[in-house]
Structure formats: structure tokens, C-alpha cells
Structure 1
Amino acid sequence: MATLLYGGTGDPVHIDDRALAHVKIVIATKLRRNESFTLSWKHPDGEPGGRSTIWIHPSIPLRFVFEEATPPEINMRWVEQLMLSANATGGITLVDEVLDRPELEADAV
């Protein structure tokens, strides 16, 4: 389980390593452009239920801590989905991974 540390105070945000690796790409892209946005997620199992949203701004300290030493292979379709979400009025909503399903594409032909 990875951890997102945001700002000088507040609780750490626990997110799956693979998911945070993908979210990190989107956040870094947006912050490089000096764009602010929100990030929303459902609380993981073992934490009180519900969801949270934080305002991501270039001036607020941000740290990504991963449990795994080796970065995962990046799924660009998932990054694109997250980027579309980031560019919408609701900000990034952490969604399940978008998987390429070649067998479904072959069936559709």
C-alpha cells in the first residue's frame, strides 16, 4: 500500500501502489502546467467508510511513498482516463484500472 503525503498536516492517504503510480503521472503533469485540481478517492478497507477529496495546488508540499521498490508497468489507457477526469470540473476521481481487452475487440469484428 502506497502513501500520499500532502501538505504539512493531515493524515496520510493510503492508495494501492499501482494506482498511485498512475495518479502520480497525472498529478505531475498537471502541476508542471501550474494547474490546480481536486483528487477524490474512496477510503480503503480497514479505514472508516466514505470518501475524501483534497485540493491539489503547486504550492503545497506533496510526497509519494511506494511500498514496492520497482515501479509497475504503466497502463497508458488508465493514465488517459485519469487525465480526462483531472481536466473535468470534478477533478481526478480514482477509478479502477482500464484494462485492454484484445479478446473483446476480436469478438467485435
Structure 2
Amino acid sequence: MGTIQYGNGDEIHIEDRALAHLKVVIATKLRRNESFTLSWQHPEGDSDGRSTIWLHPSIPLRFTFDDPEAPQINAQWIQSLMHSASSTGGISLVDEVLDVPEQTGQP
């Protein structure tokens, strides 16, 4: 379980694979000097509910991963997260988009 430390040091706990993908999207948006929101459901063990933060290039941000190896990035998931980041609702941490091969009906 990785963390995002944002602003005053509050920690947001997010699974490492999801965090790696969020990092790509967040870094891209902030590099473009774009502000946006990030929303997520609280993980098991935390209080029930969901949270949203405002991300701005001037606010300190740190990503910390438990796994020392970076995962392979799923381009479709990045695309989905980038699409939500550009919407009025901001980034919603959605489940990974998997590329499922089309069934041909052949045995």
C-alpha cells in the first residue's frame, strides 16, 4: 500500500499499482500547470466514505511506494484516468481497465 503525502503532510493510502498509474496522470496534469480534483473511496480499515482533494502545482506532493519495483504501466488505464482528470469531476480512482481479447466463438 503506497501513499500520497499532500500539502500539510496528510497521507492518502492507495494500492501501489493504482498509485503508479495515478502518479503518471497527476504528474502530467501538474507539469501542464493544470489544477484538478482527485476523488477516491476510503480503503478497508479506514473510516467509511470517500474523499476529494484539490491538486495544484504549488502544493507539495510526494508519492511513496511499498514495492521497490515499478509496475508495468497499462496505457488503457492511464487513458481512462486522463479522461476523468479532464472532466469537471476530476480524477476518480477507477478500477484498472483490462484489455480483454475479443471472443471469436471458435473452439
Supply the distance in 2 between the matched residues of 1:107 and 1:94 (Cα, whole angstroms): 32
Shift of 1:107: 3.3
Q: 5+ unaligned residues in a row in structure 1: which ranges? A: none
CA RMSD of aligned residues (A): 1.0
Structure with the higher fraction of residues in helix conformation: 1
Hey, what does 2:104 align to over in structure 1? Answer: 107
TM, length-normalised to structure 2: 0.95
Hey, what does 1:7 align to over in structure 2? Answer: 7
Mapping of residues 1-109 of structure 1, within 5 Å: 1-9=1-9, 11-102=10-101, 105-107=102-104
* Moved beyond 6 Å, runs of 4+: none
Supply the distance in 1 between the matched residues of 2:60 and 2:84 (Cα, whole angstroms): 22
Shift of 1:79: 0.3
Structure 2 residue identity aligned to 1:44: P
Q: Secondary structure at the match of 2:104?
A: helix
Q: 5+ unaligned residues in a row in structure 2: which ranges? A: none
Q: Alignment length, in residue pairs?
A: 105
Shift of 1:106: 3.2
Structure 2 residue identity aligned to 1:100: D
TM, length-normalised to structure 1: 0.93
Supply the distance in 2 between the matched residues of 1:67 and 1:82 (Cα, whole angstroms): 22
Q: Secondary structure at the match of 2:39?
A: strand
Supply the distance in 2 between the matched residues of 1:33 and 1:68 (Cα, whole angstroms): 28
